[in-house]
Structure 1
Amino acid sequence: MANTPDWKKPPFTRDDVRITRRETLYKGFFRADKVTLKHKLFRGGWTEELSRELFLRGEAVGVLLYDPDRDLVGLVEQFRAGALDEPSGPWCMEIVAGMIEDGETPEDVARRELVEESGVEAGELEYICNYLPSPGGSDERMHLLCALVDLRQAGGIHGLDEEHEDIKVHVIPAGEALERLYSGRFNNAAVLLCLQWLQIHRPQLRRQ
């Protein structure tokens, strides 16, 4: 089969969607809407009117801690209700993360959350990418960064009591983390993407 020549440019834009009705189903810490819409079809014409439930999560930031001088990574572990049925249990190994609030940049959030969740202050920040974790049902956008830090004194339990956070910091040799990348210990997209990025850029970061 020949390559599709037009894959690099999306064929449609936001103007090719018509929202006819929107209602809020739930609004608390999160929000869920029911959206009724029509959109253009690849074969031409428009869909019939259809409804989708949309989980409104907003923009978030995730940060991998990396100490290039000692070749160490810093990860956090915490309870996650969405992982209750995981065979290994609902405690997940993750990167530091938080939501973007009004007026903040991803870099602002990265520096704030690093202190709150790991007790580490960031030096240089490397922007990795942004992506949509689950665009079939959520508007969340995740920005990923790597913080170049000194991890010699990192560790312990962190988090905000008022947010019921109980976050354990792990400092791991980078080589060991990368060797176990697909072992199942890292079971969420953000930490996998960050460690894959580190696998590619690690030699360059160590030279810097």
Structure 2
Amino acid sequence: MNTQPKNQLAAPEYSGADVEIVDNKRVFDGFFAVDKLTLRHKRFDGSWSGPFTRELFERGEAVCVLLYDPQRDCVVLAEQFRPGALADERSPWLLELVAGMVEAGESYQQVAERETEEEAGCQFYQLIPICNYWVSPGGTSERVQLYCGLIDSQGVAGIHGLEDENEDIRLHTLSFPQAYQAVESGCINNAATIMALQWLKIHHSELSGAE
């Protein structure tokens, strides 16, 4: 007798068509926005839930790029202040990927090119998709497209960012072993950077020395 569980991931049982938005009110509209949703959805037993409310942090889509120099086997990371990390035991200045929000009409690649220039003062010669993921879908709409951008890191250094966006970004060039050790030690502790460096760990041998 076959006791193996059925593959539940072949196709989702439900889709967006199985959700009803009863009401949607914007309750805050500042640097970010918050919507209050009243909704109901199909349940796994086939019935419908009753209406319930959820506050949704409307963040939109973002692009993050891990800048990697395969010839020198190093990564370039951005250090900047993050108010959401004020309670961080180490520091609210985090080591991160270059990143930015997707504006209307922009492609992911255009955002990657813009942010790499603005935050690191350089250009990548190849852009490799890593993954597309929801940041925290229980409370925010933010979705991130993650890339690895291959660069020549010669001369990439200094302080960057846009003054009118209050950006103050300092670049750090770390050997890949140093960067991965920073993940293992907890020095690097934000999701996009951890995910990108773990991806690079998996693909390191094939990318090292790539033209």
Q: What's the offset of the Cα at 1:4?
A: 4.4
**Secondary structure in 2 aligned to 1:180?**
helix
Higher deviation after alignment, 188-197 or 177-186:
177-186
Other-structure match for 1:11: 13
Misfit runs of 4+, over 6 Å: none
Other-structure match for 1:97: 99
Correspondences of 1:140-151 after superposition (within 5 Å) = 140-151=142-153
Q: What's the offset of the Cα at 1:2?
A: 4.9
Distance between the aligned counterparts of 1:3 and 1:197, measured in 2?
29
Other-structure match for 2:36: 34
- Over 3 Å counting, the alpha-carbon distance change for 1:22 and 1:105 in structure 2 is same
**Secondary structure in 1 aligned to 2:50?**
coil
Distance between the aligned counterparts of 2:139 and 2:6, measured in 1?
27
C-alpha contact (below 8 Å) 2:183/2:189 kept by paired residues: no
When normalised by structure 2's length, the TM-score is 0.95
Other-structure match for 2:198: 196
Other-structure match for 1:62: 64
Distance between the aligned counterparts of 1:30 and 1:164, measured in 2?
15
- Over 3 Å counting, the alpha-carbon distance change for 1:8 and 1:159 in structure 2 is same
Correspondences of 1:18-167 after superposition (within 5 Å) = 18-167=20-169
Q: What's the offset of the Cα at 1:166?
A: 0.6
C-alpha contact (below 8 Å) 2:71/2:209 kept by paired residues: no
**Secondary structure in 2 aligned to 1:64?**
strand
Distance between the aligned counterparts of 1:39 and 1:153, measured in 2?
54
When normalised by structure 1's length, the TM-score is 0.96
Question: Structure 1 unaligned runs (5+)?
Answer: none
Distance between the aligned counterparts of 2:194 and 2:10, measured in 1?
25
Question: Structure 2 unaligned runs (5+)?
Answer: none
1:176-207: per-residue Cα shift (whole Å, max 9, x none)?
A: 21233221111111001100110011111125
Percent identity, aligned pairs only, is: 47
Distance between the aligned counterparts of 2:128 and 2:87, measured in 1?
34
Distance between the aligned counterparts of 2:90 and 2:10, measured in 1?
39
Q: Indicate the RMSD between aligned Cα atoms, in angstroms.
A: 1.2
Which amino acid is the alignment partner of residue 44 of structure 1?
Answer: G
Aligned residues: 208
Distance between the aligned counterparts of 1:44 and 1:181, measured in 2?
43
**Secondary structure in 2 aligned to 1:116?**
helix
1:25-71: per-residue Cα shift (whole Å, max 9, x none)?
A: 01122111000001011122011110000011111000000000110
1:81-132: per-residue Cα shift (whole Å, max 9, x none)?
A: 0000111121111000000111111110011001111111111111111100
C-alpha contact (below 8 Å) 2:97/2:192 kept by paired residues: yes
Distance between the aligned counterparts of 2:159 and 2:106, measured in 1?
26
